[in-house]
Amino acid sequence: MTAAGEGAGSGTAGLTIETQGLTKRFGHQLAVDNVALAVPHGAVFGFLGPNGSGKTTTIRMLLGLAAASAGTVRVLGLPMPQRLHEVLPRVGALVEGPAFYPFLSGTANLHRLDAAGRHAAPATRTARVAAALERVGLSHAAGKRVHAYSLGMKQRLGIANALLSPRELLVLDEPTNGLDPQGTREVRSLVRSLAADGATVFVSSHLLAEVEQICTHAAIMSAGRLVAQGPLAELRQAGETRIRLLTPDAGTASEVLLRLGMSPGTGTPEPDGDVLTAVAAASRLEAPEDIVAELVAAGVRVRGFSVERESLEERFVALTGEGFDIAQ
């Protein structure tokens, strides 16, 4: 049996990234406000929020690229930035894109970047560069100068750079930003396959659809604060559900719905009765047939009944007060 000491595994309680009270002030502005992130080992974790909500600033603090004003960060179980030199070799990052030399090939660029790293073994460099290019599907363009690469290819080259050594955690800041649909598809499928290889992936995005497509977990930032986080399935469950009921017995119906823990609104008159809407937390909602049975048992004439679950998008808009770009 091996001791699961500090840094031996994936972090405390299976967390690959854990922050407490993480805060960053720029003058009077609170760019990151008391953030407690919990990224489980093996997750594809979507860090979602509108532009300017504090995602990049948080990522920079996770990687020791910026100092926190307050709070603590643990990555792979080790405190950052105190244990930076042990943590960073185990983490691949794509933040603000590495600077490539346009007139050097993809291979030559990766050789230079690898040589600049403190921990990379020169003896294995050629093989590791070739393997990383292969991993991101750029072997065919390895000898091409980077200025001839599409944006999607450059972004994949950036990810190849993050993969030059085996990594337990990949941190990708808006990896599909600025890409055309083809490049976006390529990068998304690459991110999915990296996770399938066993790495924990922390990926920021302002696109809800993107996070829904590739992530198992998500956290939502709004104006520097973390407003929700958890498995995607749970975030979907956590929204509100609205029922619509058509009945001439709105008064009794309201009483029944209140008793069932829902918040009924006032009815809107229609020819067949009143349309009553009521909302409840989705997790607390009775089965629709049970609600109808309760209504009928109380003598309510049910002439129409429907249940609408709040979409993840509606929930995020409600949480952040902003519309999300839902472009694919």
Closest to ligand ATP by CB, 55 vs 188, is 55
By the 8 A CB rule, do 52 and 114 touch? no
Q: Residue 119, exposed/middle/buried by CB under 10 A (0-12, 13-18, 19+)?
A: exposed
Q: Which residue has the tokens 């509108």?
A: 50
Whole-number minimum distance, CB 26 to ligand ATP, in Å? 3
Smaller CB separation from ligand ATP, 81 or 264: 81
Question: Residue 183 Cβ, how far from ligand ATP at the closest point, in Å?
Answer: 18
Q: Give CA–CA dist 53/224, Å, rounded.
A: 5
In the block, tokens 């230079």 appear at: 112
To ligand ATP, the closest distance from the beta carbon of 95 in angstroms equals: 10
Nearest distance, CB of residue 234 and ligand ATP, angstroms: 23
Quick one: how far is CA 6 from the chain centroid?
A: 26
CB of 49 to ligand ATP, least distance (A): 5
- Report the candidate in 171, 214, 211, 213 with the shortest Cα–Cα distance to residue 192: 214
What's the closest the beta carbon of residue 53 comes to ligand ATP, in angstroms? 4
Cβ of residue 101: shortest distance to ligand ATP, in angstroms? Answer: 25
Task: Say how far apart CA 195 and CA 87 lie, in whole Å.
Answer: 19
**DSSP string computed for 122-163:** GGGHHHHHHHHHHHTT-GGGTTSBGGGS-HHHHHHHHHHHHT
Run of H or E residues at 38? strand 38-40
C-beta closer to ligand ATP: residue 60 or 242: 60
Give the C-alpha separation, 261 to 280, whole Å. 7
Residue with Cβ nearer ligand ATP (33 or 168) = 33
The CB-of-20 to ligand ATP minimum distance in angstroms stands at 19
Q: Which is nearer to ligand ATP, 51 or 306 (CB)?
A: 51
| Residue carrying structure tokens 């520097």 | 224
How buried is 116 (Cβ within 10 angstroms: 0-12 exposed, 13-18 middle, 19+ buried)?
Answer: exposed
Measured from the CB atom, is 26 or 103 closer to ligand ATP? Answer: 26
Tokens of 306: 């429907």
Based on CB atoms, which residue is closest to ligand ATP, 167 or 206?
A: 206
The residue ranges that bind ligand ATP (CB under 6 A) are: 26, 31, 49, 51-57, 206
Choose between 33 and 249: whose C-beta lies nearer to ligand ATP. 33
